[in-house]
Structures are given as C-alpha cells and as structure tokens.
C-alpha cells in the first residue's frame, strides 16, 4: 500500500490497530516514521473551528480565544504574539510577514502586508566591499542587516480591521507566558546550543538566552523573559505606536546608533503596513488565493499550478517519477522568472497578470519534454509581458463562522541576526539579506535576484512567504503555508496538490515526503522516503537528485462539509493542531 492511495476521507485507524502496516527497518524514513507513530496521519477533527501552529502553547491560547467567542483573526493575533514568546528563533515582534484573511460572509479575501522595509538611508551597494563584491556577513549578522520591523503594526491592523478583541486582550496570554515562563523542550535547547557562537557576541542576546553564569538552559528548565514581558505590556497599554514611537522605539534607535547602523527613530515612526489584493488563480475547480508582492510566493504558486493543470497528476501518481519530473520542470521556470521580475510593486512594475496567465503557462508547458530534463542553464526568465492585459513561522486558523486566516512571519534566519535589542527582549531580523545585495549574486537561500529586488530606501525586500487559502464553491476549503526560505513556495504547492490531486487527508498531505527545485542550483532536492527506483528514473531523464534535510513545516487545516480537519507538520516537534 502506498501513501498515494490514502484518501483524505479515510483514516488509518483500522490498519494501524490491526498491525497491518509494519516496517522492518532500523532507520525509518520520515513517511514511515509518521505511519509507525500512528496519530501522525490522523488529522485533528472538530465541528467548531481549528488551529494549527508550530507550538502547542500558541495553539492552546488561540483555541481558547475561539472557544470564548473570538473569531479567527482574534485567535491568529493572539497566537502570533504567543509565538514571539515561545518560539523566539522564528516567531517574532522584531520581524515581519504576511496575513491572508478570508471571510465567507462577505466573500472577501484580503492580504495584509507587514513585511519589513529598508531604512530611509539604505543604498544599493551597502553590502558590497570596495571591489564591488557582495559581503554576506554584512547583510546577515550586523545591525544593518535589520529592516524596519512590521509585525506589531501588522497584527494590530488585522485586529482593528477584522477582529473583535482589544490589543490588550490579544497580548495577555503572551505577556503571561513571558512573565511566568514556560518549560523548555529539546528543540529550543538544541537551537540555542547550535547558535551559541552568534548569540554570545551581543550583550542583550547573552542576557536573554543564557543563564547568569553563561551556561546553557536545559530541557525542563523554565524560561522567563522579563524584558520582553515589559515591552509587550507597554504595547498593550499604549497601543501599537508604542513600538514605533515610544520607549521600545527609543531602545531600538539607540542601539542602532551605538552600532553605527542606518535605521533611525524616524524610520520606525514612518512604518505602516498595507492591505493588498492577493494573488488569485484556479486549479481543478478551486479558487487559490495567496500572498501578492512583495511576496513572490502567490504569483509563482498560481504560475506553477497553471502549468501543472495541463497534466493528469492524479493518474501519474503521488511522487512518481513522472509527477516529480513535471513538478521540477514547472518549478525551474517559475524560479527563473522570480529572479528577473519579482520585487516590491510600490517600486517596480511586476508583470503579475502575464506571469499568472494561462496563455503564458501554455507556452512554458510546451517547453517541457516527458523524455528528458531541461538543463537549468538553458532556461532563462521567460517573457510574460505579451500576456499582460527556510527560519519562518506559519500558522492556519479557521472559526465556525466562515472566517479563515493564513499567516506567515519571520525574522529570516533562525534567530535572525542574533542581536537582541537591549532592554526590550526581542531579536532583530536580518531580512536585508533578502534584497539583491548585488544583482545576479545568490542570497543565503541560493536565490538569484535582479534589479527589481535591489536595495532602495523604504523598499520592502522580496519574500518567498506564501500564506495560502483555497476556496471551493465559495467556501473556505484549505488553509496552508510554511516556513523554509526558498522551499516555502514548493512546500505549499505540494500540500495543495496532495489534497486536490491525490485526495489525501490534511495530516497525510503535510507529512509525506517533499521535493524542491529552484532553477539554480540545477538539482531536485528530496526528503527521505522517495523510492530509490524513482530516483533512478529521474536521473535517467537527466535530473541531478540530492537527498537533504526535511523541508518546511506546513501547519495546515481543511474544511469539508462543515467539519474542520487540522494537520500539524511532524517536521517540527512542537507543532500542534487543536480543534474546539
């Protein structure tokens, strides 16, 4: 029996309880381990609402909000602030992100852009040396690596526009978790140990992440964050502008000035999030909504789905050589276009209608042969104009009244720049690395950027974050997204295809092995669990296949016939889906 044969409406209970599925191997693959653990492939089920986040404490407080009558946006904002406390390596108030909100009653799907911005004094060559070479250390591990944070303003905007709670009410669980602390799991302890060298360079980071004697916290220790609690209290009492114009802003600006950075108090005071129209496409009778620029994710999700709709993916089979081949070919072409055209639409013209048009997809599909791989060096960004007419946190939430939220936010690397704002208790992002430090030079995720994504004052850097909501017959159907840097887009694509093409339940859809291709480097990256025979077939077509670590953490949910199904991605040990 293969995972492709497991429909989403059917559980594995009978097979597992009967002991029908066993694996005589010493080191199970990701997919096999998921089956051995049983519950991994059983979605959480509810008739009143669902929460799926990357930390069970955030899931708990968000579920409580829904249980007490709050809507999905109330729960999302509460979870967002809670994750800033429980998952500081990626959850944040020092970074930024994107939120999609779908309201069945109004029929509206809106995109909230709270991506970070470059400081007003930023300039195109700020991360280059005297020889004009890009210097990655400057865009990643310095105070100048930080864009102006947007999370506080963005979450507050979502709450004010679409929620029912006050900001103080939404912040209360996060404040409590920061003050009283929480018990540390293995993943948290491992993360601090692995990032110790970077964190120990900065006084604020040493104070936050290490004990007074400089030693590491251990599993089971209680982790308290008094400086962060004080910051959250100020925001609760004075509103979101406190972060941008109050004491918190003063602490950020002072630290920037002490370290010769470009960000100023004026940059903070001038920051505003934006409400945008999401990218939209259709796939096999479903409406697909995903984040628009400055995220590249939604544009290229629609582009790749348009290409893949021309193939009978279900008949080709889940993770068969043919399916992986056409997926990789579609991915190559989308990422090639990303390198040329995508950027902040407030600054550059992006041919969105052309890239997402079916006519352009037909042209790209005509270039794909089923008999051989197309070498990436023979693929250049296409011409959509004639058709013109990893560390991140994602969570998905839906309530019983037709509202759904898909949210992805980040400080970029795990622990961002590694720099904690002294006296404020939160990490600064290093999102400036997502700009093209020099057009044509890859960033930390190997992504190539062009002139459209060059550094400019007050510009938002390009992102791969892809919060996505799929609707069926006008109803919310699938809410998904993922962390994972350049792999976010392809992870989200595969969760969607697993549900729509392969009829998987949502827990199966987020658990099974994934693949990734981003044009350059010219290789298919795969997780464990892909058959050696399939790999051999792909290689015979001319693909280079590289087995690497797990990709993404797609906390997702699905709604069908009034029933909510939650899928917590097993790639993160603290992930949790909870229904009411």
Residue-wise over 49-63: b if at least 16 C-beta within 10 A, else e? bbbbbbbbbbbbbbb
Does the annotation list 338 as a binding residue?
no
List, in sequence order, every residue forming a beta bridge with 100; answer none if it has no partner: 111, 406
Nearest CA among 126, 142, 135 for reference residue 258 = 142
The residues, ordered by sequence, that sit 6+ positions from 223 with a Cβ below 8 Å of its Cβ are 181, 182, 183, 184, 188, 217
Distance of alpha carbon 331 from alpha carbon 519, whole angstroms? 7
Residue 341 phi, psi (nearest 5): -105, -25
Helix (H) / strand (E) containing 50: strand 49-53
Does the annotation list 115 as a binding residue?
yes
Query: Helix 488-500 crosses helix 321-341 at what angle (to 10 degrees)?
Result: 140
Q: Which of these is catalytic: 151, 231, 392, 534?
A: 392
Does the annotation list 546 as a binding residue?
no
CB atoms within 10 A of CB 12: 20
Sign of the alpha-carbon dihedral angle for 480, 485, 489, 492: negative
Token pair for 578: 């909870």
Would residue 164 show up in a list of annotated catalytic residues for this protein? no
Residue-wise over 229-239: b if at least 16 C-beta within 10 A, else e? bbbbbbbbebb
Distance of alpha carbon 63 from alpha carbon 49, whole angstroms? 8
Nearest CA among 120, 421, 490 for reference residue 252 = 421
Distance of alpha carbon 219 from alpha carbon 28, whole angstroms? 25
Does the annotation list 275 as a binding residue?
no
Q: Which whole-number Å values give the CA distances from 355 to 296, 303, 470, in the listed order?
A: 11, 6, 19
Does the annotation list 485 as a binding residue?
yes
Distance of alpha carbon 481 from alpha carbon 396, whole angstroms? 8
Max Cα-Cα span within the chain: 68
Does the annotation list 466 as a binding residue?
no
Q: Report yes or no: 552 and 571 within 8 Å, Cβ to Cβ.
A: yes
Bridge-based pairing of strands 468-472 and 108-114 is: unpaired
List, in sequence order, every residue forming a beta bridge with 567; answer none if it has no partner: 556
Does the annotation list 412 as a binding residue?
yes
Does the annotation list 463 as a binding residue?
yes
CB atoms within 10 A of CB 124: 16
Distance of alpha carbon 405 from alpha carbon 396, whole angstroms? 6
Helix (H) / strand (E) containing 399: strand 392-399
Q: Which residues are catalytic?
A: 392
Residue numbers belonging to the annotated binding site for L-glutamate = 115, 410-412, 434, 463-464, 485
Residue numbers belonging to the annotated binding site = 115, 410-412, 434, 463-464, 485
């Amino acid at each position: 029996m293969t995972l492709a044969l497991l429909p989403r409406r059917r559980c594995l209970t009978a097979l597992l309880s009967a002991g029908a599925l066993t694996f005589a191997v010493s080191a199970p693959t990701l997919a096999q381990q998921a089956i051995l653990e049983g519950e991994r492939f059983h979605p959480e089920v509810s008739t009143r609402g669902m929460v799926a986040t990357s930390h069970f404490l955030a899931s708990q407080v968000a579920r409580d909000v829904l249980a007490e009558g709050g809507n999905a946006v109330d729960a999302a904002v509460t979870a967002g602030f809670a994750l800033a406390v429980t998952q500081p390596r990626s959850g944040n108030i020092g970074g930024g992100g994107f939120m999609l909100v779908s309201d069945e009653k109004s029929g509206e799907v809106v995109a909230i852009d709270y991506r970070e911005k470059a400081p007003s004094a930023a300039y195109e060559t700020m991360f280059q040396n005297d020889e004009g070479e890009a210097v990655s250390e400057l865009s990643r591990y310095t105070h100048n690596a930080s864009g102006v944070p947007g999370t506080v303003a963005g979450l507050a905007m979502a709450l004010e526009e679409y929620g029912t709670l006050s900001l103080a009410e939404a912040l209360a669980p996060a404040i409590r978790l920061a003050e009283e602390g929480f018990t540390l799991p293995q993943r948290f302890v491992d993360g601090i140990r692995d990032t110790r060298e970077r964190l120990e360079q900065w006084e604020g980071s040493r104070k936050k992440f290490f004990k007074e004697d400089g030693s590491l916290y251990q599993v089971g220790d209680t982790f308290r964050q008094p400086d962060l609690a004080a910051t959250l209290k100020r925001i609760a009492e004075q509103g979101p502008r406190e972060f941008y114009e109050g004491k918190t802003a003063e602490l950020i600006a002072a630290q920037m000035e002490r370290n010769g950075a470009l960000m100023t108090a004026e940059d903070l005071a001038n920051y505003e999030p934006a409400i945008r129209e999401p990218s939209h496409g259709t796939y096999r009778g479903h409406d697909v909504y995903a984040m628009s620029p400055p995220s590249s994710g939604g544009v290229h999700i629609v582009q790749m789905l348009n290409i893949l709709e021309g193939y009978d993916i279900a008949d080709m089979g889940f993770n068969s050589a043919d399916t992986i081949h056409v997926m990789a070919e579609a991915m190559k072409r989308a990422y090639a276009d990303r390198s040329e055209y995508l950027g902040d639409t407030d600054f550059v013209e992006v041919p969105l209608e052309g890239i997402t048009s079916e006519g352009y997809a037909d042209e790209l599909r005509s270039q794909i042969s089923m008999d051989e791989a197309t070498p990436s060096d023979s693929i250049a960004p296409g011409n959509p104009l004639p058709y013109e007419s990893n560390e991140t946190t994602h969570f998905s939430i839906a309530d019983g009244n037709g509202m759904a939220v898909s949210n992805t936010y980040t400080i970029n690397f795990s622990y961002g720049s590694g720099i904690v704002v002294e006296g404020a208790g939160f990490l600064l992002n290093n999102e400036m690395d997502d700009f093209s430090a020099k057009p044509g030079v890859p960033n930390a995720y190997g992504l190539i950027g062009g002139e459209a994504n060059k550094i400019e004052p007050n510009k938002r850097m390009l992102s791969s974050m892809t919060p996505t909501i799929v609707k069926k017959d006008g109803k919310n159907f699938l809410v998904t997204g993922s962390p994972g840097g350049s792999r976010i887009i392809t992870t989200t694509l595969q969760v969607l295809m697993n549900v729509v093409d392969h009829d998987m339940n949502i827990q199966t859809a987020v658990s099974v092995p994934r693949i990734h291709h981003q044009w350059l480097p010219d290789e298919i990256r795969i997780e464990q669990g892909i058959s050696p025979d399939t790999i051999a077939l792909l290689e015979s077509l001319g693909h280079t296949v590289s087995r690497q670590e797990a990709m993404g953490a797609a906390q997702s949910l699905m709604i069908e016939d009034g029933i909510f199904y939650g899928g917590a991605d097993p790639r993160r040990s603290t992930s949790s889906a909870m229904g009411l």
